[in-house]
Structure 1
Amino acid sequence: MSQTRAHRSRKCRGRAGNGALPKDLYAYAEARPLPRIGRPPKCEPETWTVTDDWPDPLPVTQAEIDLFEAWFGDFFDELFGPIP
C-alpha cells in the first residue's frame, strides 16, 4: 500500500481542492425549468374552480391554540381587544 490511511480517507471523502470558492454558494436554487414545447397554456382566471374540501368545523387541537396564544397573544389583544 503506497498511500497512507489519512491520504486515502481524505481522497475518498471527495474534499474540494484549495481553489477559490464560487461567489454564490446557493446558485443551484436559480435553476431554470426546461422550455416548453408548443404554445403556452391560456391563463383565464374566470375558468378556474376553487374547491374547499376541509371539514366544517375545522378541527383545531388545544396545543395549536396554546402555540398561537404564546406567539401572537399580544398581537391578538391589540387587534381584537383583551378577553373579558
Structure 2
Amino acid sequence: MGSLPDDLYDYLQPAVRRKGRPARKDRSGWTVTDDWPEEVPIAEAEIEVFEAWFGDLFDDLFSTRH
C-alpha cells in the first residue's frame, strides 16, 4: 500500500467561471411554470414499489389507531 498524501484537501480545484451574462440577483420577477398535465397517470407497478418500500411508514403515518 502506498503512502498517503500530506494534504488530503489538495484535490479541490477552483470552480471554472462560465462566460456569459451573470445571473439576476432579484428573483422576485421570476415565473415558474410547468407543462405537466393536471392528473399524472400512475401504473400499478409503481404503487406496488412504493407499498413494498414505504408500506410500514405509510401505515404509521396514516393509521387511525394510536
What TM-score results when the alignment is normalised by the length of structure 1? 0.52
Aligned-pair CA distance for 1:70:
0.4
C-alpha separation in 1, matches of 2:55 and 2:31: 36
Structure showing greater relative contact order (alpha-carbon pairs closer than 8 Å, 6 or more residues apart): 1
Q: Is 2:29 the partner of 1:50? A: no
What TM-score results when the alignment is normalised by the length of structure 2? 0.62
RMSD over equivalenced CA pairs, Å? 3.0
Of Structure 1 and Structure 2, the greater helix share is in 1
**Bigger CA radius of gyration:** 1
Residue correspondences, number: 61
Unmatched 5+ stretches in structure 2? none
The one of 49, 61, 66 aligned to 1:67: 49
Percent identity for Structure 1 against Structure 2: 50
Unmatched 5+ stretches in structure 1? 1-18
